[in-house]
Amino acid sequence: MPNHDQDRSNVSDRPAAIVIGGGIIGCAAALELIKAGFACTVLDQGALMQEASTAAAGMLGAQVETHEPGPFYKLCRHSQELYRPWTEELEELTGITAEYVAEGILRVALDEEDEAQLRSRLSWMRGAQWLSAEQIRAAEPMLAPEVRGGLMLERDHHIMPTALAGALRAALVKLGCRIREWTPAYRLLQHQGRIAGVQTAEGPLYADVTVLAAGAWAPVLTEPLGLKLPVFPVKGQCISLRPEAPLNRSTLFAKSCYIVPKRDGTALIGATQLEVGFDKRTDAEAVAKLYRKACALLPAMRDAAFVRTWAGLRPGSRDGLPFIGTWPEAPGLIFAAGHYRNGILLAPGTGLLVKQLALGEQPALDLTAFAPGRAAGAAGVSG
């Protein structure tokens, strides 16, 4: 690596790490890297935690989001188990709560086909319980009569992404992370066959380990290396309403709509799903659609006050799986991108895996299914 001390993200004798992207995945990775002894710099082309990571609903839906057993379910469950202690550690460090709510998700069925699909999960999903129409109304009395039953997923909790953003930033500052906002990484630097850092407008920054956590923008940086990472923006729009009193205790989740009752008394209703490029505009049609769907589940939502609407860009991937691991063609680079609908849930698990890869340790999970080179047909590396 070129010996430009002034260009290194670290001038101490600690190993240096650069994290590209200050969303929840980059921040979670930086947190683990600092705790493991790296001198860490997080670069963001904008401000920290202002893209998908604060547009999210904050569900930790390992069970509601999984349709079959396998590596993705394992990854989700692994991160879900880490979540509560992770937010408690952040709160202890910073005094900021992530507004963790441990009420479970009720995945409701409105038609026969949906019911059959949901019931089929009972054979392999531990901790899920089928509730009949009567049982479900006893649990959530405000539900519409059309709901025919549902899966109670007690382990699927939620947090408030904007609150968690504050805790993550404060924790990184407190632990001595260098945060460089409005500083895009223009390209990855190579030296002697390794990725050696990034080029920024202010010059090169060198590091022993570079983490690619650039969300929907990640492919821009891998393309010059010859890797077309199939990650792309999937726009999601949400609305927030304030009923006079909370209408549901558990999160209600139907085929194309969910209602998350937040600690502040608002109901977060999401989300649309559209591939329209890097477009974050909100529109009245989506607001109306989400409102109608929420009222179809909870008719009393009609009287709620409108609070706000917003949109964010999920880092989608064609097979729905994230890219976590290394790529033989680019040693020194760790991928942590493409977390699609589940980046909030997967943050602590991904942070830990990035740290293990950076230290050359055996990752806690088999990462073959998430190998960065899988789409290119290249052999992926899991650790």
Ligand X SMILES: Cc1cc2nc3c(=O)[nH]c(=O)nc-3n(C[C@H](O)[C@H](O)[C@H](O)COP(=O)(O)OP(=O)(O)OC[C@H]3O[C@@H](n4cnc5c(N)ncnc54)[C@H](O)[C@@H]3O)c2cc1C
**Residues interacting with ligand X, by CB under 6 A?**
20-26, 43-46, 50-53, 55-59, 184-185, 213-217, 221, 236, 238, 270-271, 312, 314-315, 337, 339-345
Return the structure tokens found at 118. 């949901």
Q: How far is the CB of 271 from ligand X (least distance, A)?
A: 4
Task: List, in sequence order, every beta strand (DSSP E) within 175-273.
Answer: 178-180, 187-191, 194-200, 203-206, 209-212, 231-242, 251-254, 257-261, 267-270
Nearer to ligand X among residue 313 and residue 375 (C-beta) = 313
Task: Give the amino acid at 32.
Answer: E
Count CB-CB contacts under 10 A for residue 361: 12
Q: How far is the CB of 27 from ligand X (least distance, A)?
A: 7
Q: How far is the CB of 323 from ligand X (least distance, A)?
A: 10
Instruction: Return the SS3 of 204.
Output: strand
Instruction: Return the SS3 of 77.
Output: helix
Instruction: Name the pairing type of β-strands 178-180 and 39-43.
Output: parallel
Q: How far apart are CA 327 and CA 210, in angstroms?
A: 12
Q: How far apart are CA 291 and CA 305, in angstroms?
A: 11
Q: How far is the CB of 312 from ligand X (least distance, A)?
A: 3
Nearer to ligand X among residue 278 and residue 306 (C-beta) = 278
Task: Give the amino acid at 274.
Answer: L
Nearer to ligand X among residue 209 and residue 345 (C-beta) = 345
Nearer to ligand X among residue 52 and residue 96 (C-beta) = 52
Alpha-helical regions (H) of the chain: 24-35, 52-55, 71-94, 112-120, 133-139, 161-174, 218-222, 284-297, 343-358
67 sits in which H/E element: none
Measured in degrees and rounded to the nearest 5, phi and psi for residue 123 equal: -70, -25
Q: How far is the CB of 57 from ligand X (least distance, A)?
A: 4
Instruction: Return the SS3 of 290.
Output: helix
Q: How far apart are CA 46 and CA 56, in angstroms?
A: 18
Nearer to ligand X among residue 273 and residue 362 (C-beta) = 273
Q: How far is the CB of 100 from ligand X (least distance, A)?
A: 13
Nearer to ligand X among residue 38 and residue 335 (C-beta) = 335
DSSP letter (8 states) at residue 277: S
Residues in the chain: 383
Q: How far is the CB of 170 from ligand X (least distance, A)?
A: 17
Q: How far apart are CA 83 and CA 383, in angstroms?
A: 23
Q: Which residues are paired to 256 by β-bridges? A: none
Q: How far is the CB of 89 from ligand X (least distance, A)?
A: 19
Nearer to ligand X among residue 50 and residue 135 (C-beta) = 50
Count CB-CB contacts under 10 A for residue 186: 14
Q: How far apart are CA 238 and CA 268, in angstroms?
A: 7
Q: How far is the CB of 135 from ligand X (least distance, A)?
A: 25
Q: How far is the CB of 194 from ligand X (least distance, A)?
A: 19
Nearer to ligand X among residue 130 and residue 310 (C-beta) = 310
Nearer to ligand X among residue 45 and residue 135 (C-beta) = 45
Nearer to ligand X among residue 215 and residue 325 (C-beta) = 215
